[in-house]
Chains A and B, each alone.
Chain A
């Protein structure tokens, strides 16, 4: 067993879990934060993306114990009183259908915009499509996801 101490969505948590517990399992099963989804078993689909210490990470790819002491933000923790601009943009631009990939898309989108803004780079449609390499959606054909991220980028 490992003692995992994390700050998740601003709240300190400490839990003893098996050493092999993935961060995605820790969030979903231990903390019951089920907004983070698991859509594959090869770290390809990106439905499980959360922010670890401010950076996007596939939570199915990391052991909870390996990031003990860190800060995690999940989709449940993104809204701060009101919806985050990325969440609003997905609603405004019909960037989701079944909603399963959406938490990962939103967390990836926020990270993408933050990185490009920090580097002073323009987030073009081509760049967004390239950046979404690690997030799979089967419903939207990506058209409106790209629009949503472009829209949010202008407002973040």
Chain B
């Protein structure tokens, strides 16, 4: 069986996970291990008047109790946001100071003010409870909608009125004019609910300081260990890069939340130096809800205009994005360049304008969560399209089709250039697989049982393969977003791939080996993928934004190009043939059209013995490459949800979910399907189950799995998946990416299906039974649901 590109190869990495031999950060225990426990604010907004550590310091096993004054006194820098967004008046964004341990003020429940280091975890936790902090409570601001109101609590002194930036994209005047001249305008107010990412492995850190070498090692739950080292070194002043090794071993899911460098990891590193002990911290789930960056949390008003033929004339959006108490690492980019730039969706729209105001509130910081900005854009557009179709009496599929972009490349009014796609083909495949033609009969059958059936569409597009470095640099990014790789062919012909991408569930150890097997004709068992260690891999930007295929694998291909060139030179020299006649196939390096060949491992051996190499050639067979993408990639597809609602209770069941995706080239269909399954589950979770909820005092009401509704197996259906592939023209393998699509495309499909079933468009996420029941009652009589 082929193990190359397109093969449904079983995962190489599975064995250690199914036998309990995975190595996650919390599984690591050093000699002389000490444990950290954080003292966290119980108040959403308060001044810190004093910290009394004397009782805690006297407790058994306590090594040290450290606070923010000591941390900043040692020169540890404030936590930063790495993407500078400029307001429309030209002013820079208002970034408030964020110390890993708060000094003067706390700004959300869970903000850390001190840390206890003790011999055992339980001793550390008990002592943390004995630290007495005197607070002066301040007025609290929680609501996104109220953040800019007169008289709202002021959270950071340098962000008057809690405004971080007021940014726009597109042509406001032209869009207003287009809307004014439209035959029909659909207007909606849409909330995108706040979510907690919830990878099943809680965050963890083990920090080790070697005093003799003045060297730090950090094992941590990171999606991007090199970025962590860069930021810890360049901005937080923990140690220079050559004195800091960051290792992200097996990592149990990320979904964005493990991109960032949090206060806890910084504090553990610093505390390991202060105490001379290896310091370990592992979050429990309650702490994860309190401290892992949340996602989404937008409030938007939107207007979409149509001409008499149902063609979109203009789209105008005004969004308030809640950033929580501090600006997390990539927070600023999410509701701007990852959101507003996707507001053209799959449609020909000449006029688009979007205004975004980012605000502080006394809540957990918000940053990228699976999809990051693109789910918010997709949800807006696709709810608007469905609602507009209903208002205009048009078929929602045909309204979409009539507006689809069909010519590529296509430049949108919001700076994206779509490179390839077949939007109509995606729709056809999805409609056929979902048996849309048979829906009316299924609806009638359900009605006979007293149930309401609905069908909803979503045509999503996303920008992945993040991202061309020069382009993102011009838009404010503090880093380049290329990827690097090294391909080492050993003397026995086995291959090691060192990659800057990081696998935390994506199956890179298999798929990255497949592209090597495809190229060099060797078994994937002869390929080892090395990742997640700054001492082993030269550099890397990590895994997020569905970039590991389109960018990470492209870097491997570039390195393989160089290896292949050298292999051909060695073989041509040995076999006394022309380089141009050398081909690599079936594990051999051959002179085309003859029986002259070297086996793959013979070339490896020749490169390392160096007894007979071409004049001037260096020994060895190892090449590295950096790949910087030339454009984003644009996965797109159509999702169709079919639901059944019990009108008496509002209980809603997804009876069928169909996805037709265009991901470009697929390396391993089994793994790609798994990514889509998981993405859809998270999208369905957002649409029907999940919501981070605070009370008016800023207390988190959804701080455990008792309160925050994670999707369970019986909340979800099995999925029907189709692929409709157009190859991405801008990277060597033609890959678009598949990691986020499910989470982006599914929420509007689900809500459109429910609103179709219940006959009202007035429904926000999550569509819990109570929310659905209330919407049904409100539609019956506007007074009934009050």
Residues on B with beta carbons closer than 8 Å to the beta carbon of A40? 284-285, 704-705
Given A79-B19, A98-B505, A136-B200, check contact A44 B705 (CB 8 Å). Answer: yes
A141 touches B18 (CB 8 A): no
- The reply to whether A138 and B18 form a contact with Cβ atoms under 8 Å apart is no
- Contact across chains for A138 and B200 when beta carbons are under 8 A apart: yes
Q: Which residue of A lies closest to B719 (CB)?
A: A143
Tell me the minimal C-beta distance from B756 to chain A in angstroms.
23
Q: Tell me whether B18 and A133 are in contact (CB under 8 A).
A: no
Is A68 in contact with chain B by the CB < 8 A criterion?
no
* Residues 59-110 (chain A) with a chain B CB within 8 angstroms: 74-76, 78-79, 83, 87, 90-92, 94, 96-103, 106
Do B714 and A132 have beta carbons less than 8 Å apart?
Answer: yes
B200 interface neighbour in A47, A125, A126, Cβ under 8 Å:
A47
Pick from A35, A44, A126: contact of B19, CB below 8 A. A35
| B251 contacts A98, C-beta separation under 8 Å | yes
In the complex, which residue of chain A has the Cβ closest to the Cβ of B681?
A141
Contact check, B681 vs A98: say whether CB atoms are below 8 A apart: no
Contact with B along A36-56 (1 / 0, CB 8 A): 111111101101000000000
Select from chain A the residue with minimum beta-carbon distance to B13: A99
CA distance in complex: A29, B491 (Å): 41
Q: Which of B302-310, B439-447, B669-677 contacts A (4 or more CB under 8 A)?
A: B669-677
Given contacts A39-B201, A141-B681, are A96 and B18 in contact (CB under 8 A)? yes
Interface positions, chain B 650-676, Cβ under 8 Å from A, are: 670-671, 673-674
Judged by a CB distance under 8 angstroms, whether B682 is at the interface is yes
Contacts known (A90-B14, A132-B714, A138-B682); A100 close to B200, Cβ less than 8 A: yes
CB-defined A-B contacts under 8 Å, sample of 22: A34-B20, A35-B21, A39-B201, A42-B706, A45-B200, A75-B19, A94-B673, A94-B674, A97-B505, A97-B674, A99-B22, A100-B201, A101-B200, A101-B252, A136-B712, A138-B255, A139-B674, A141-B682, A141-B742, A142-B712, A143-B716, A146-B718
Chain B residues at the A interface, C-beta cutoff of 8 Å: 10-11, 13-24, 26-27, 29, 122, 198-202, 250-253, 255, 284-286, 504-507, 670-671, 673-674, 677-682, 704-706, 710-714, 716, 718-719, 742
Cβ B706 vs Cβ A145 within 8 A: no
> In whole Å, how far is A37's beta carbon from the nearest beta carbon of chain B?
7
Q: A39-B285, A40-B705, A138-B682 in contact; A76/B19 too (CB < 8 A)?
A: yes
Contact partner of A125 among B11, B19, B201, B718, CB < 8 A? Answer: B718
| Complex contact A98–B199 (CB within 8 A) | yes
B667–chain A nearest beta-carbon distance, Å: 14
Tell me, yes or no, whether A137 is within 8 Å of chain B by CB. Answer: yes
Q: A44-B705, A125-B718, A132-B713 are in contact. Are A97 and B20 (CB under 8 A)?
A: no
CA distance A47 to B200 in the complex (A): 8
Does chain B have a CB within 8 A of A129?
yes
Q: Which of B19, B706, B714 contacts A133 (CB 8 A)?
A: B714
Q: A138 and B20: CB pair below 8 A?
A: no
Say how far A9's CB is from chain B's closest CB, in angstroms.
10
CB-nearest residue of chain A to B251: A98
* B680 proximity list for chain A (CB < 8 A): 141
- Contact between A129 and B713 (Cβ–Cβ < 8 Å)? yes
Do the beta carbons of B20 and A103 come within 8 Å of each other? yes
Knowing A44-B706, A98-B200, A100-B253 touch, does A142 contact B716 (C-beta < 8 A)? yes
7 other A-B residue contacts (CB within 8 Å) besides A44-B705, A138-B710: A34-B27, A39-B201, A133-B712, A133-B713, A137-B713, A141-B677, A143-B716
Residue contact A36 to B20, C-beta cutoff 8 Å: yes
Closest 10 CB pairs of A and B: A35-B20, A100-B252, A99-B17, A141-B681, A98-B505, A44-B705, A97-B505, A141-B677, A75-B20, A132-B713
Q: Are A142 and B671 in contact (CB under 8 A)?
A: no
Which residue of B286, B681, B704 is within 8 Å of A142 (Cβ)?
Answer: B681
Residues on A with C-beta less than 8 A from B23 are: 34
Taking a contact as CB atoms under 8 Å apart, the answer to whether B18 and A90 are in contact is: yes
- The answer to whether B20 touches A33, judged by C-beta atoms less than 8 angstroms apart, is yes
Q: For the complex, is A130 an interface residue (Cβ under 8 Å from B)? A: yes
Q: How far is the CB of B675 from chain A (nearest CB, A)?
A: 8
Any chain B CB within 8 A of the CB of A144? yes
- Residues in A neighbouring B285, C-beta threshold 8 A: 39-42, 45
Contacts of B19 in A (CB 8 A): 35, 75-76, 78-79, 83, 87
Q: In the assembled complex, which residues on chain A have CB atoms less than 8 Å from the CB atom of B713?
A: 128-130, 132-133, 135, 137, 142, 145-146
- Asked whether A140 is an interface residue with its Cβ less than 8 Å from the other chain, the reply is yes
Write the nearest CB–CB distance from B762 to chain A, whole angstroms. Answer: 29
* Cβ contacts under 8 Å, A75 to chain B: 18-20
In the bound complex, what is the Cα–Cα distance between A37 and B26 (angstroms)? 9
* Distance in angstroms between the alpha carbons of A47 and B679 in the assembled complex: 20
Question: How far apart sit A41 and B773, CA to CA, in the bound complex (Å)?
Answer: 32
- Assembled-state Cα–Cα distance A133/B705 (Å): 12
Rounded to whole angstroms, the CA-CA distance of A108 and B257 in the bound complex is: 28
Complex CA gap A97/B508 in Å reads 11
Given A42-B706, A47-B200, A96-B17, also A140-B253 (CB < 8 A): no
Q: Which residue of B lies closest to A20 (CB)?
A: B122
- Give bound CA distance, A20 to B716, whole Å: 37
B11 smallest CB distance to A (angstroms)? 7
CB contact between A74 and one of B20, B255, B286 (< 8 Å): that residue: B20
Residues of A within 8 A of B26 (CB): 34, 38
Contact A144 B674 (CB under 8 A): yes
Q: Which residues of A contact B14 (CB under 8 A)?
A: 90-91, 96, 99
Contact indicator B504/A98 (Cβ below 8 Å): yes
Q: Taking A44-B706, A98-B504 as contacts, is the C-beta distance between A140 and B674 under 8 angstroms?
A: yes
